Structure 1
Amino acid sequence: MASTALGMSRGTLVQALTGGAVVFGAAGVLAPRALGATYGVPPTPHTTQLLRLFGSRMLALAAWSSTARTREETDRMLAVSAGMNVVDTLTALGSAQAIGRATAMRAAATSAFFAAFSLVVRSLED
């Protein structure tokens, strides 16, 4: 089993994932319209609230990651992150006809990247 990816240790990569969750989470909670514009989501009161919910979910994941004290806790968080992002990828692809291909592909690509990244980090030795 490998002990690094992209030249970084497992711990450093977990911190990078945590940082990404904080950035996406803060954007969702504090600037949902800006986050939505990045993905081509039209600003409505409904989408704004849903992006805030997405943001709080990401902040909760970041809090879990930053407070994990054992490898088992970190592995569990990484598995949840991967699973959550796989579901997000599939739902984005499934909604392409309704929301537009470009928006769906941006969402699917982001989620697929984070799903794969979580699994790679989870596979690394300490």
Structure 2
Amino acid sequence: MAKAALGMSKQALVNVLTGSAALFGVTGLLAPRALEVTYAVPPSPYTTQLLRLFGSRMLAIAAWSFTARTKEETDRVLTVAAAVNLVDVLTALAAARATGMTTAGRAAATSGVFAALAFAVRSLED
């Protein structure tokens, strides 16, 4: 097994993914309009609420990752993060007809990248 990817150790990559999840989560909670614009989602009270819920989910994953102390805990959170993002890809694609390809494509691409990164990082040696 490889010990690094993208020139970084497993722990460094975990920190980058965790920080990204935290940033996305804070943005979803405090600035959902920024995500509405990024993902081309029409603003409404409903989308604002859903983006805040999504933000809190991302913060929960980040908090779990920040507090992981063992290799097993870290691998478990990486597996869950990858699985959640994979479900998000499928959900985005399934909703494409209703939401439009721009929105669905951006959401699927973002989640797909994070799912792939989480799986790749999990496969690295500590």
Q: Name the TM-score, length of structure 1 as normaliser.
A: 0.99
Matched residues in 2 for 1:21 and 1:52: separation?
Answer: 13
Q: Which residue of 1 aligns with 2:61?
A: 61
Matched ranges for 1:1-126 at <5 A: 1-126=1-126
CA deviation digits over 1:10-37, x for unaligned, max 9?
0000000001001100000000011111
Runs of 4+ in 1 over 3 A off after TM superposition: none
- Percent identity over the alignment? 67
Return the offset for 1:54.
0.3
CA deviation digits over 1:45-86, x for unaligned, max 9?
000000000000000000000000000000010000000000
Where structure 2 has 5 or more consecutive residues not aligned to the other structure, the ranges are none
Matched residues in 2 for 1:36 and 1:86: separation?
Answer: 21
Where structure 1 has 5 or more consecutive residues not aligned to the other structure, the ranges are none
Count of aligned pairs between the two proteins: 126
Q: Name the TM-score, length of structure 2 as normaliser.
A: 0.99
Matched residues in 1 for 2:20 and 2:59: separation?
Answer: 10
Q: CA RMSD in A?
A: 0.4
